[in-house]
Chain A
Amino acid sequence: MSRISDMLPRHFGPYGGRYVPEMLVPALEELEQGYLKYKDDPEFTAELTDLYQNYCGRPTPLYFAENLTRELGGCKIYLKLEGLAHTGAHKINNALGQALLAKRLGKTKVIAETGAGQHGLASATVAARFGLECKVFMGEVDVRRQYPNVYAMKLLGAEVIPVTDGTKTLKDAVNATLKYWIQNLKDTHYILGSALGPFPYPVMVRDFQSVIGREARTQILEREGRLPNHLVACVGGGSNSIGLFHPFLQDAGIRFHGAEAGGRGPAVGDNAARFGGKPKVGIAQGYKSYFLQDESGQLQDTHSVSAGLDYAGVGPELAWLHDQSVIEFAPITDVQALDAFKRLTRLEGIIPALESSHAVARAIELAPTLPKDEIMIVNISGRGDKDIFITAMELDRENWIAFLENEVRHGK
């Protein structure tokens, strides 16, 4: 083991690691050493900070949700509005960091996987900004249900490649991207979008996303003079949650809540709740963690109304924090998420992404049971514009179909 490897956590307890075909190892080692070299480099961090402030719009606001707080009648609820970052979600934080690193490593092309499309959009955006050629792999099912983002990615100059393997969702997009990378290692950097996959991605993505928690910490101390009692975030792969939670992990007295996709219910294939039922540890997509799988080790189909949470695995650091009872995970059904989506929109004038609506739904469950003097921060990881084709079909079906038919009939 090289001295360099020992300086970044390759494992979180028994999780994480680098379970990849040998031919990917040199690229991952190059990335590991590159990240280690630049992560604390003053020039690199200054450039990233400048981009965060002047391109991305950071710091994003920490907003006191007065109406929601009053209606729920429990603890004070603050919302960390990552949806106000450029491209509408927290994904841009990581994409900017990795694009800067890719440039430093001399790469001219980037590839990315995407589920809901927000990471693909963020990758296409940074590729346009830095003059990098970009390909985005996206499950065929997700291409269908997230077309606004597909359109935006193409507009930004990225090639969107529909993945028709397996479940045709995020998991298969990850596989397809890794395979493309294996064949194009020399000039291509893989902007992996969540805090998972083979080392060093879980630690690198976490570090880039930790800007969320660092800002929230400063902001809540300024506003309330003390740290929050509760942090709530949705968990698909887990990048927005680990980004919010990580800077608070050393603090005593904070409860961390992860909202998973409970989908249509607990039956196999109806949800993406890795910690619901009997969590099973496995090895797939380059890392060890909890995966939804059958007794033979085959990954199972998943479902969520939210494409971004529709994923069979979960980041290894979150798995380790689950085992230590640091994070309390709970499944949120599609119905609960849609209800939370409507309530936040009506009460606060904020349309959350369907992913973030899961976090809001968990806050709605928790807040009324908590004392009024306690503080909760909910990560609104993205805004709901991208979900309009899902939410309109769910909540305003007839009018929406009439609108679409009219567009098709009269469109040229």
Chain B
Amino acid sequence: MENNIDRALANKAGIQLMTHVVAGYPDLDVNADLIRLMASRGVKLIEIQIPFTDPLADGPTIMRANQAALDQGVTPRHCFELCAALSKELPDVAFMFMTYANIPFALGLETFMAKASQSGASGLILPDLSWDESDGDYAGAAREHGLHPIMVISPDTGGPRLDAILSRASGLLYTTLKVGITGAGAGIDQAGVEYVRNLKKKTALPIAAGFGISSPDHVRMLDGLADVAVIGSHIINLMDAQGLGAVDEFLAACART
């Protein structure tokens, strides 16, 4: 199978960026502008977060964005529509839906995957839908719909559990650089760097590393180590404080790494 995630990571030169938007924050039109801007700066991998009332893995920035989007009445349908419009407009970008288990569960896992696929997405990230739950081994079903099930691990994931996850993952493997929640940090944890280094020896899958990446220097540090640097909270903080222009400058600086 080849989808946009595979295409984005094939024959790549240097580290790729994976960015994140919370659908509906600050509103769907700004989401579209932001995604266009990201694409114009060469970002090929974009997560669209479907907001949830109880986002367990997210820090304060993304949690607030989730709540603000929900307060505006954003539903999964709006998120599918956003993805459908942008994936037509930007056929080279690999879109992934990121959300929490209750959103696909409420819609029906199969229906959710079908809708995600029809809207042009290439992958799913469900950090609280564990592969070892009775209904959580959704990886095969996702692939049947042309979606990569993106597994999220952390530097504490090891041993047989890591092997089991690796056997189910496809597309790319998303590891956090620290054991914690999302949020821009001051620096990159050396233990996280070591973990990624060891992970490279265990799997041929491209590795995306995230949590705490907030400067072009962080991206530079990961170049040659991970395949993808994931930037989430920092972009929301930049956009909130200084607007889209600041995001543009930041992405341009990262692209020069």
Contact = CB atoms under 8 A, between A and B. Distances in A.
Interface string B137-159: 00000000000000111101100
B127 A21 contact: yes
Interface string A162-187: 00011000010001001100110100
Contacts of B132: 1, 18
B53 A298 contact: yes
A168 to B, nearest CB: 11
Interface stretch (B9-17, B103-111, B237-245): B103-111
A60 B70 CA distance: 46
B3 interface: no
A297 B133 contact: no
Interface in B112-139: 127-130, 132-134, 136
Contact of A21 (B53, B57, B134): B57
A18 B156 CA distance: 17
Contact of B105 (A175, A182, A297): A297
B181 A182 contact: yes
Interface in B68-91: 70, 75-76
B156 A26 contact: yes
Contacts, number: 107
A1 B134 CA distance: 12
Interface in A279-333: 280-286, 288, 291, 293, 295-299
B106 A183 contact: no
Interface residues of A, number: 36
Contacts of A281: 105
A282 B105 contact: yes
Contact of B54 (A1, A166, A185, A280): A166
Given A23-B156, A166-B54, A293-B102, A298 B180 contact: no
Contact of B134 (A17, A171, A183, A284): A17
A166 B156 contact: no
A79 interface: no
A366 interface: no
Contacts of A283: 100-102, 105, 128-129
A206 to B, nearest CB: 20
A38 interface: no
A175 B54 contact: yes
Nearest to A199: B133
B56 A20 contact: yes
Contacts of A171: 54
B129 A19 contact: yes
Nearest to A180: B181
A396 interface: no
A373 interface: no
B63 A165 contact: yes
Interface residues of B, number: 38
A222 interface: no
A185 B100 CA distance: 22
B54 A21 contact: no
B202 interface: no
Contact of A19 (B70, B76, B128): B128
A14 interface: yes
Contacts of B31: none
A171 B53 CA distance: 10
B196 to A, nearest CB: 15
B208 to A, nearest CB: 14
Given A18-B133, A20-B56, A166-B53, A296 B128 contact: no
A182 B157 contact: no
B61 interface: no
B176 interface: yes
Nearest to A298: B53
B102 A282 contact: yes
A343 interface: no
B179 interface: yes
Given A298-B52, A298-B53, A183 B105 contact: no
Nearest to A186: B179
B215 interface: no
A297 B102 contact: yes
B130 A18 contact: yes
Contact of B128 (A21, A26, A280, A293): A21
A25 interface: yes
A296 B157 contact: no
Contacts of A182: 57, 179-181
A298 B154 contact: no
Contacts of B181: 179, 182-183
A280 B70 CA distance: 20
B32 to A, nearest CB: 21
A297 B112 CA distance: 12
A284 B105 CA distance: 11
A22 interface: yes
B161 interface: yes
Interface in A138-177: 165-166, 171, 175
Given A23-B156, A165-B63, A183-B179, A296 B130 contact: no
A167 to B, nearest CB: 9
Interface in B151-209: 151-154, 156-157, 161, 165, 176, 179-181
Nearest to A26: B156
B102 A22 contact: no
B212 to A, nearest CB: 12
B109 to A, nearest CB: 11
A284 B151 CA distance: 19
Contacts of B128: 19-21, 283, 286
27 contacts: A17-B130, A18-B130, A19-B130, A21-B56, A21-B57, A21-B152, A22-B127, A23-B176, A25-B156, A166-B67, A178-B56, A182-B57, A185-B156, A185-B179, A280-B106, A282-B102, A283-B101, A283-B102, A288-B133, A293-B106, A296-B103, A296-B106, A296-B107, A297-B52, A297-B76, A297-B105, A297-B107
Given A17-B134, A19-B128, 16 more contacts: A19-B129, A20-B56, A21-B56, A21-B127, A25-B161, A165-B67, A175-B54, A183-B179, A280-B106, A281-B105, A283-B101, A286-B128, A296-B76, A297-B106, A298-B53, A299-B53
